[in-house]
Amino acid sequence: MPEPRYRQVFIEDTPYYHCISRCVRRAFLCGEDSISGFSFEHHRQWIIDRIKLLCSVFAIDLCAYAIMSNHYHIVIRIDVDQVGEWSDEEIARRWMQIFTGPLLMHQYLGNADLTETELERVQELFSTWRNRLCDLSWFVRCINEQRTRTPSIKRTRTPMTLTKETERTRTPMTLAKETNSN
């Protein structure tokens, strides 16, 4: 039975980790599905771009990656010392490249007058975000969650014969209707 990540990751022992994330239910991450005739190859570059963006935000260095048809591998190095050197404003700037952030943080960064209680909450957010920006689970979550929430990545499957321009608008259901009407 798989172990939770918090039982496997010990930064004190090593900052290097090999992570694997796979699709379920015979789903394709990228490549060509010979059974359905759909190509998911356009997902590959999106995943690469997402990983690179997250490496620029997190205190995590990408050592290697491989994206297969139904899973991906990443080898990363967690740099806890780097996140400790970032100012609170840098932490907020990085975090809000991925997430919107609460209104309170936007007010703080906009130099609004905040109460003592609000300032304490802002400091709590800085501490939470600082920990998350060097956390392996949050890093992998940000790769996978965005992929599953993006309709063009999750639901759009394109026949191998379609051009790039029509990939995003023609779904298998639309194609079936077009075929039946001819």
**Residue type at 172 in one-letter notation:** P
Cβ atoms of 78 and 136 closer than 8 Å = yes
- Half-sphere exposure of residue 37: CA atoms within 13 angstroms, side-chain side: 7
Q: How is domain 10-81+137-162 classified at the CATH fold level? A: Alpha-Beta Plaits (3.30.70)
| Residue 178 in tokens | 């077009």
Local structure of 118: helix, strand or coil: helix
For the question of whether the overall pTM of this predicted structure is more than 0.85, the answer is no
Spans of all domains in the chain: 10-81+137-162, 87-132
Q: Convert the pLDDT of each residue in 42-98 to its tens digit.
A: 778 888 999 999 999 999 999 999 988 778 899 999 999 999 999 999 999 999 999
Q: Convert the pLDDT of each residue in 105-120 to its tens digit.
A: 999 999 999 999 999 9
